[in-house]
Amino acid sequence: MNSFIKSISTYLPSIKVTNEDIAQKFPEWDSDKIFSKIGVKNRNIVDDNETVIDMAVKSIENLVNETNLDLSIIDYLILCTQSPDFKLPTAACIVQNRIGLSKNCAAIDINQGCSGYIYGLSLADALISSGNFKNILLVTSETYSKSIHETDKGNISLFGDAATATLISTEGKYRIGKFNLGTDGSGWENLIIKNGGSKYINDNNLNNMDNYLYMNGSAIFDFTSKNIPPLVNDNLEKNLIHKEDVNLFVFHQANTFMLSFLRKRIGIDENRFLINMENYGNTVSSSIPLAFKDSFSNDLEKVMFVGFGVGYSWGAVTLFKN
């Protein structure tokens, strides 16, 4: 049984942080320099009281309002986040209750970061293909802003908060094709929040910066430049299509320099390669559906999604217009 993406909705928190706002805090980091280095002008972040669960609920409410979705048909909820409200229970269970999904609806969290949307789609596709489920909500919700140290001007400039909700069903606009997924755990230390798990839960001897997001940008770039071009080619081959057949490539919106590098390395025309992070920043697992939302209504015959990052993990899938 085939699975399809039927609809996508998004939610952005209300606080907008401009490059000018950041430059006021870091005078050596002027707004033009931020844009030239990272490719972001604005990003939205949550306030102290808004959480991943709140944003997830709002993205689903937006999907209901925009598509008249009857939530009683949902039989599985997948919530992708690395910023859960609690260590337990799973955020998905609380979202199920908040939005009134059936008690016969399964609800799970996945912790997968920048490739999380691809992994979530692969799970939804497998669940529908099994014949046991018909309508799945895949929700991404991230609040990285709460995990960035106040002096970390690079990550403050790069990341934004966002949530998305995608309905995957037995019928819809885009048929989900074949996946390529990969993992290389040797790079686990290069994008990490070290404290907060069971290993360093109360270790006061650790540097306080270990409570916050750390990213080794050069190592991430090396990993990406090595693994993503062959990933794209492998997914083209697996779906029995050529690069020229794809109408739109939607990559994880990591940063504009990396995206431009990958586009040129792979040999994709600029008009078929989506970069839209200027007003959102890097929104982690939300970046692909957030980028694709505005193109969803277009008549695109074939679309490729590519995600990569923390873990390291990566994945690609091609969609075919139904």
Give which of 81, 82, 73, 50 is closest to 213, Cα–Cα: 82
Active site residue 114: yes
- Structure letter (DSSP) for residue 88: S
Give which of 294, 17, 306, 313 is closest to 155, Cα–Cα: 17
Non-local (6+) Cβ contacts of 246 within 8 A are 236, 272, 302, 303, 304, 318
Active site residue 252: yes
Cis peptide before 312 (omega within 30 of 0): yes
Catalytic residue among 44, 105, 235, 252: 252
Catalytic residue among 19, 135, 239, 282: 282
Report the C-alpha dihedral over residues 161, 165, 168, 173, rounded to 10 degrees.
-90
Ranges assigned E (strand) in 115-247: 135-142, 162-169, 174-183, 191-193, 213-215
- Cβ(118)–Cβ(313) below 8 Å: no
Beta-bridged to residue 248, according to DSSP, are: 303
Give the span between the Cα atoms of 171 and 186, in whole angstroms: 39
Give the span between the Cα atoms of 168 and 130, in whole angstroms: 14
Give the span between the Cα atoms of 153 and 158, in whole angstroms: 9
Beta strand 313-321 pairing with 174-183:
antiparallel
Cis peptide before 289 (omega within 30 of 0): no
Give the span between the Cα atoms of 157 and 43, in whole angstroms: 8
- For residue 312 the two structure tokens come to 């390291």
Catalytic residue among 114, 155, 180, 195: 114
Active site residue 149: no
Active site residues: 114, 252, 282
